[in-house]
Structure 1
Amino acid sequence: MAVIIMLTTMMVTNVTAETYVKVTVQGETVDFPDAKPFIDANNRTLVPIRFISEALGAQVSWNGDLQQATIAYDNKVIELVINKKEISIDGQTQVMDTQAILKDSRTYVPVRFVSEAMGANVEWDSDNYIVSITLEPEPADLKGMTNEEIIQQLKEYPYVENSFTNRIENNEWMVNRYGKDKLKEFVQIGKSYMETFYNVDYRIYNKADYIEKLKWFFLESSSWVADDRILRDNEDHINYWADMITEKQISIHTEFITDETCIYTNGYTMIRGRMNYIIESCNDMQWLKKYTRYGDVELGKNYTCVVDVQIITKAKKPDEKWETAERLLSDEHLITPLKEVK
């Protein structure tokens, strides 16, 4: 894949180590809540590794003993060590012209090298100090793959870390803790949710029935933040989506491939699966792209991605009327970028 990098000789004059820049990924501004990108003394743009990597659909882990950050992206493993100019990409070492650093308890890395390692196109607007990053992932080739092969492939991706618990327990631990039958029940919750929420056709769906089905996965007294970053009570969240299916004429069909061997925990119960889907109809794709990460696609084409569905136990209040599953939806984590299927 051709990579266009325009940051090699960033024509920046009279800047300091605290000159801040704006970063966009796929046209969307990346939010850096407590650590901002800046231009270092070598005129290189450094960005907080976690925020930029997650914006690109990658997972980041940190080894404090080695002072090493690891990025897992689409079967690639990228490793950087603090205060070192070397970057390892799938075991092959390259030398950068600046180094990863620790600043205000955050790991900063050169945006050009990290983006290049993930196959991105990067453009630099020197007048406005804007870094624009775009990804054009190659189509995924799933032809001939059996579900068993897909399940095996899912296990090759690293687990999602939980910064609050700093805990990871694998599937074997989950089996010993709960037993295979209980894990099958947990898997069914995640699979049913994905194949209910993202399986609907505005032309034939019954709104009332659809809403009742979705309530099974959500606690009445809790809330949800969609990708539009708006906090809604769960009832409002469900009703809003149900209304938009009709208003935006949405037709989407989804298959979520997983099984009980794909469960692990990081403090939450995580159900990993491959989401294969197609959006056949929507009269407002800009709205859909903003509302859900899965909307950033073209109509009528098949797409795939790996997703971790996060479910948790929540205490039900005595006055709540909904009947719910044993464990309820808490979040969705995109493990790989969206890819068109060949």
Structure 2
Amino acid sequence: MLLLRKRLLAGLAALLIALSSGSIPAAADVPIGVIVNGLKVAFADAQPYVDINNRTMVPLRIIVQKLGATLQWQSNGRIEIKYGQRSVALRLNSLQAVVNGKRITLDTSAVQVEGRTMVPLRFISEGLGAKVRWDSEAYTVLITDEVFAKSSPNLDAWGRLIRTERLPGNTGEWAYVLEDVSNSAYIMGYRKQINPASPRMPASEAFQNPNFNRENLDQWVKRIRNYYDLVFSVDYRTIDPSTWAESFRPYMNSSSLDSITRVQYAEWVQNNGIRLEGWAEPEPSMTYMQDGKYMMRTMVRFRVLEADADYGTLLDTFQASYEVKLKIGVWYRGYADIVLSTNVSGDPWPHYGVELHDHLFFTPVGSIQEEVGEQL
């Protein structure tokens, strides 16, 4: 009864907050990627989102740091950003700003969301002299300043910087090594082979196939991201078991959709007050073939916000043949090799989807760990 009362009070509080601050929208389900000067930005908590004015909002401090600018908070609530000879000044919840001494009117204002100052990305970046480009296929914003552009950087097809120094010992197994991905992600080992007699095709070999192009790989990335958006966005207050189970269909190998198991899990969510949040960031350049299927290494970050059950809180652990207990309020982060397969013949490349019963904790075991100090 006490737990039910707490839930009702929490729901009422959330409703009152939403009604009183309707100008602050919720974050997009699948986070927007941001690449600054060839380096993908890892947002620790507050994620970029598109606001009601169709403007991409990002955490101010981390973007300023990535561009190498300086940030100052004035006593009157004024925010001032300086980058070389350029400057941008604005205030929270105000449409008035000053760019390089010239007063302008914005079409959306800086706001605070869960203690983080969120600002319109294009306005801040261009005000500091950087170029901004939207990559719709990768759902990513690319920001480059003049100094970086003139350095003739070695970028991959997604605009990310390729590393040529401090390389991992197994560099030859990969198509290339990214500057913003740690060596530990490259050397952590592969998913266990079902058929050891069948040789693994490393990414360096797989990428020699012309079908390993951006068009196909972007489709695979979208399916993984949307698949795990469904996995990590469950909420006992809103989930509808049959609708939720069928929502996976566009992102999976359709012949392997296990609707019964997913309906059972959704009912488990309802009955045990389970609520999650998290996201997946696939690395298309880290794709290899094994056991006749493709594996795309993917960084995941998630946490259990609320649950009455001690086990089965994640679809992954609900389906597994062993018990994994996840702590409530603790962020988990790590890499998993997500299996992609298809039953389509002829031209199968655009049709690969997430494989039935894929498990984060199998791929490989031990990569996904608790983040120290990240708790509710």
Q: TM-score interval w.r.t. the shorter chain?
A: 0.3 to 0.5
User: TM (normalized to structure 2)?
Assistant: 0.42
Instruction: State the structure with bigger RCO (CA 8 A, min sep 6), 1 or 2.
Output: 1
User: TM (normalized to structure 1)?
Assistant: 0.46
Name whichever structure is richer in strand by fraction. Answer: 1
Which structure's CA Rg is the greater one?
A: 2
